[in-house]
Structure 1
Amino acid sequence: MAATGFEGFEKRLELRFYGDDPLATTTQYSSSPLGLRQILDFDSLVQVLNAVQCTVVSAVGNRYFDAYVLSESSLFVYPTKIIIKTCGTTQLLKSIRPLIQLATSSHDQDLSLCALRYTRGSFIFPESQPSPHTSFADEVDYINRHLPPSLRRRKAAVMPSNLTSHSWHVFTATTDQAPHLIGPGLESFYTVEVCMTELDRAQARNFFQPPGKGRNGDVAGKEMTKLTGISEINPGSIICDFGFDPCGYSMNGIDQERYSTIHVTPEDGYSYASFECVGSAFDDDVDDLVEVLRKVVRVFGPGVVSVSTTGATREVWAQLGRAMEGMKRRSFAVDEFPAAGTVVFQTFTAGRRK
């Protein structure tokens, strides 16, 4: 807990790996499909998360990946990809060195880091962040010092908006060969990251536990999922949820090889909720994603929304505004990043905002 309130905005880190012989990558993982899932056993993950200062509170997995709900947000482990996002005053970037060491030191899996992506919004309480998260410049310097020299193509940028409280910070790094080494089909997936503030107070109260009930986090999480309508956002997904005491909520959804995740800080004055999911260039209709985001906005009733898409086509990010019913687009920014592709950052405000 920060001195002035809990920091809802997450820091997000994604690491991608490939086999030492890029031409053998497909064969390698068809014969050994676990990859990082085998290397990063639970004890290893606990060590990494201790450095970050968070813990695992719940977990679920399928044939494609493992999803962990953390005391501060989420962790996803695929055979060749790790995604970890944490909120509060966690020190997310301290996971870089141990994750790389664990992933590349296995004698059974010959893996090398080929790409890194770090993203975050603007902190509500930046003065409460510990090193190396005291500024974006400090974060970039820390990442640069802990990356192998093979990731030579690097770029850092702050994507602005017309709202001083919302900007998007992006750092990417990759090898020269990364676009060809990430793996068949993986490059077709894009990421959608939604950050919402000024939540509707009545809807935010659904993420508080009633005093004296004494429910554990798993039971509270399931009740919140059903009560708020989160269960209907993607009814085909398997949901792993957790309700915190006295308030707060986290959820991971898994749907075959795709994940979605929601995190909520509902307190008045600094309420915040996030939603993240992945889509595919092979999806038949972007209307499905628009409808998902429309449901998300209805669940939380935010006053301000930012939407960042990474690697999406023009058709995708151009249509996302349709999900923001009753909201006005305030800003639009676009930039290109090595091995991440096009990043588009948009902000929206509700009609009730003055």
Structure 2
Amino acid sequence: MAHSGFEGYEKRLELHFFGDDPTILQMGLRKLDFECMIQPTLEAVQCTVVSAVGNSYFDAYVLSESSLFVYPTKIIIKTCGTTQLLKSITPLIFYAHTHLGLTLCSCRYTRGSFIFPESQPFPHTSFEEEVTYLENTIPENLSLRKASIMPSKLSSHSWHVFTATNDPPLSHYQNHPYTMEICMTDLDPILARKFFRRSGDGKSGDSAGKDMTELTGIDEINRNALICDFAFDPCGYSMNGMDGDWYSTIHVTPEDGYSYASFECVGSISMNESMVHMLRKVVQIFRPGTMSVSTTMTSGGYGNEAWRMVAGAVEPMGLKGRSFAMDGFPAAGSVVFQTFTPLRRKSE
């Protein structure tokens, strides 16, 4: 099948490391040399850095295909298109161990259902292939493993999850109790046009990105966030937001026929009010024809709270819940997966 559009759906990889030297752990993975270690790893994945920012907690990179976040003991890489994300695992494990004495203790891989699955290269040709690759790549001490496809009544929006952690498990996630990943397709075409650049605008990707951030209201999702944004030519947009040690990120592929946008953030159940605000702003900015929300909780007992929070936030915006699924992963928490579509179709 010929490639007929850009693949917006991202692949997301989260790796946690541990070590015994407290002096190393203060900066940890942030000490990896960019040109000699990070950049070659990204080249293996087939993407590059286009903009970057950092604070006292972590470094955030906007990539040519999505985002990279580097904390002292955690790396998150999120890439779209036909990138080969899983090829980053081996070099990252090697650099972390050889140069910092850090050892991988947890791995999480998630993604939605690709719009153009036939265009994906190895090892992303199928979820089964991805799981096999992961099983053969990560260390044996990550023995608590599970792979799951969480179904949806909208078959094109199923959620794929693989987790692996060490036994006995360490506490990897205490600072970020949950991660929310939102995938949206069939964006409102008028709103999607705001992510196209004017021909010959003479602006850099950074300055054009800043304009899009303000024009669309993305800067109002979290007013406390430091935003690093970038607009691609002729269209497309990415941003990373930094609020203390919390991150958020948005990526937009606005072309008609395969329009897509994603929003991701970390938070805690105690942030219910601010999370509701963020969810509603995201719906206002994109007005998707289909929206899926995956909430990963690393501490138990919050599944129903997460489900109610998400539904209570987006249903007053004219969306109706179409499916709900929840699954647990050994020593890695649980995932709630919900899909929504408008009460009234756009053609009605």
Task: Give the TM-score, by structure 1 length.
Answer: 0.93
Between 321-330 and 301-310, the greater mean CA deviation after superposition: 321-330
Quote how far apart the aligned CAs of 1:122 are: 0.3
Q: What is the rounded CA distance, in whole Å, between the counterparts of 1:287 and 1:62 in structure 2? A: 25
SS in 1 for 2:155: coil
Q: Which amino acid aligns with 2:168?
A: Q
Deviation at 1:194, TM superposition (A): 0.3
Paired position in structure 1 for 2:305:
315
Aligned ranges 1:242-257 → 2 under 5 Å? 242-257=230-245
Tell me by how many angstroms 1:340 deviates: 2.2
Task: Tell me the equivalent position of 1:217.
Answer: 205
Amino acid at match of 1:175: N
Structure 1 residue 40, shift from structure 2 partner? 4.6
Q: Distance in 2 between matches of 1:321 and 1:200?
A: 21
Residues 64, 78 of structure 1: 8 Å contact kept: yes
Is 1:170 matched up with 2:161? yes
**Equivalent AA in structure 2 for residue 13 of structure 1:** L
Matched residue, 2:219:
231
1:347 corresponds to which residue? 339
Which residue matches 1:290?
276
Measured against aligned partners, the alpha-carbon deviations of 1:66-86 in whole angstroms (never above 9, x if no partner) come to 000000000000000000000
Q: Counterpart of 2:278 in 1: which secondary structure?
A: helix
Q: Which amino acid aligns with 2:49?
A: V
Q: Distance in 2 between matches of 1:114 and 1:289?
A: 29
Displaced runs of 4 or more, over 6 A: none
| Counterpart for residue 5 of structure 1 | 5
Q: How does 1:104-119 map to 2 (within 5 A)?
A: 104-106=97-99, 109-119=100-110
- Amino acid across the alignment from 1:254: M
Residues 194-217 of structure 1: CA distance to partner in whole angstroms, max 9, x if unpaired?
A: 000010000000000011223221
Cα deviations by residue, 1:263-318 (Å, 9 ceiling, x for unpaired): 0000000000000000025x3x4121011110011000101000000016232332
The CA distance in 2 between the partners of 1:310 and 1:340, in whole Å, is: 9
Residue of structure 2 in register with 1:89 after alignment: 82
Separation (CA, whole Å) in 2 of partners of 1:42 and 1:275: 29
Output one character per residue of 1:34-55: Cα deviation in whole Å (capped at 9) or x when no partner: 0010125343111000100000
Taking the aligned partners of 2:35 and 2:282, their CA distance within structure 1 comes to 31
Name 1:16's counterpart in structure 2. Answer: 16
Choose which of 121, 124, 127 in structure 2 pairs with 1:130: 121
C-alpha deviation, 1:219, in angstroms: 1.0
TM-score, normalised by the number of residues in structure 2: 0.94
Task: Quote the RMSD (CA, aligned, Å).
Answer: 1.5
User: Quick one: which of 248, 257, 261 aligns to 1:273?
Assistant: 261
**Partners of 1:155 and 1:166 in 2: how far apart?**
20
Q: Which moved more, 1:267-276 or 1:145-154?
A: 145-154
User: Partner of 2:136 in structure 1?
Assistant: 145
Rounded to whole Å, the distance in 2 between the matches of 1:16 and 1:317 is 26
Superposed CA offset, 1:219-258 (max 9, x none):
1100100000001100110000000000000000000000
Give percent identity, aligned residues only: 63
Question: How far apart are the structure 1 equivalents of 2:140 and 2:330?
Answer: 15
CA distance in structure 2 between the aligned counterparts of 1:200 and 1:154, rounded to whole angstroms: 39
The count of residues paired between Structure 1 and Structure 2 equals 339
Q: Hey, what's the Cα distance between the residues in 1 that align with 2:35 and 2:241?
A: 20
Residue 179 (structure 1) aligns with: 170
Q: Helix, strand or coil for the counterpart of 1:344?
A: strand
Q: Name the CA distance, whole Å, in 1 between partners of 2:34 and 2:185.
A: 35
Alignment gaps of 5+ in structure 1: none
The answer to whether the aligner puts 1:333 opposite 2:319 as a matched pair is: no
Structure 1 residue matching 2:311: 3-state secondary structure: helix
The answer to whether the 8 A contact 2:306-2:336 is kept is no
CA contact (8 A) 1:199 1:271 kept: yes
